[in-house]
Amino acid sequence: MNFRAGAGATLTHLENMHYYPFGMLMEGMGTNSPANDYTYNGKELNEDFGLNLSDYGARWYDAALGRWWSVDPLAEKYAGQGIYNFVANNPLYYIDPNGKEIWIWYQVSVTKEDGSTEMQDRKVQYKNGKLYSEDGGEYSGENEYVTQVASQINQLAQDDEEFACRISVLEKSENIHSIAMTDQWENPENITKPTNKENAAQNKPTGTNIFFNPTDEYGEGGKRHPRAALAHELLGHGYDYDQAETDWSKTKNGIRRAEVDAVNIENKARAAAKNPKRTDYSGKPIPKHMLHDTHKN
Ligand SMILES: [Zn+2]
């Protein structure tokens, strides 16, 4: 939240926006009124050319990447770190110095000094079947959402070799893939959103924000294991955005090919969970020849 000193002793409310730890704006949350360009960390956001860089004086910072756009003048002093890194890849605490990236977000209730409580966002990193806290230590908590999502990623890795391969690619990606619970207001359905829309539209790699409800047992086509939805979002769309392989073309009946690809991935998870094959997208039949042979019967 930013305030700026106004005339006299007044403070002008400038914005109440939510940011990911590296400063990427969480879309659809908060207010920014009146229009205010001094956003994350009070640095001026420059939207020229759709690049959305923040002016840190000597250098431009890209919040979507968590990287500088030019070399740190003091790079020689920190030879052990990449020269485009931001705060040693450490926006909150010491995040995994390798910074490779599947994160599961959850909320905790925190008691403040005045005795009131508030919900705060936390995240853990998923890597090689293990979970790590933001300080880099192994996560020992028992948050239900974290446990459910992690166990389902583990199961997907066991279900299928291609799944295991895609999970490993995402774990090692330069892009951040964040998984969070669906929410009542902005993202009630399982959905994957690219963190950088321009990159996504130009088929350049981007991270994703995935909203996933691990207790939702119904999808299009009836009852199915929630894991099938996670496969669709994370291993279908998430992987495609990461690898710049999102197919924006459409089938003859108007289904985006990226959705056909995600449904084919979903169907592998459906087969492993003994759920029926999905053959529709958004009420339209997927052309038969485009559906992979996932279900033997
Ligand atoms: Zn989809």
> 191 C-alpha to center of ligand 1: Å?
7
Residue 95 confidence class, pLDDT cut points 50, 70, 90:
very low
Structure confidence at residue 220 (pLDDT): 83
Measured CA to CA, the distance from residue 249 to residue 24 in angstroms comes to 28
> 193 C-alpha to center of ligand 1: Å?
10
Which residue in 218, 216, 206 sits closest to 181, CA to CA? 216
Domain residue spans in the chain? 1-89
The answer to whether 23 and 40 have CB atoms below 8 angstroms apart is yes
Side chain identity at residue 26, one-letter code: M
Q: What is the CB neighbour count within 10 angstroms for residue 193?
A: 20
Measured CA to CA, the distance from residue 98 to residue 86 in angstroms comes to 13
Average pLDDT of span 226-252: 97
Where residue 141 falls (left for φ over 0; alpha for ψ -120 to 50; beta otherwise) is beta
> 89 C-alpha to center of ligand 1: Å?
31
Structure confidence at residue 72 (pLDDT): 43
196 pLDDT above the threshold of 60: yes
Computed over every residue of the chain, the mean pLDDT equals 79
> 27 C-alpha to center of ligand 1: Å?
19
Burial (Cβ within 10 Å: 0-12, 13-18, ≥19) of residue 232: buried
Q: SS3 for 107?
A: strand
> 116 C-alpha to center of ligand 1: Å?
40
Structure confidence at residue 162 (pLDDT): 96
Q: What is the CB neighbour count within 10 angstroms for residue 213?
A: 18
Least confident of 30-39, 94-103, 138-147: 30-39
Structure confidence at residue 206 (pLDDT): 95
Average pLDDT of span 201-210: 94
> 32 C-alpha to center of ligand 1: Å?
30
pLDDT, tens digit, for every residue of 254-288? 999 999 999 999 999 999 999 999 999 999 999 99
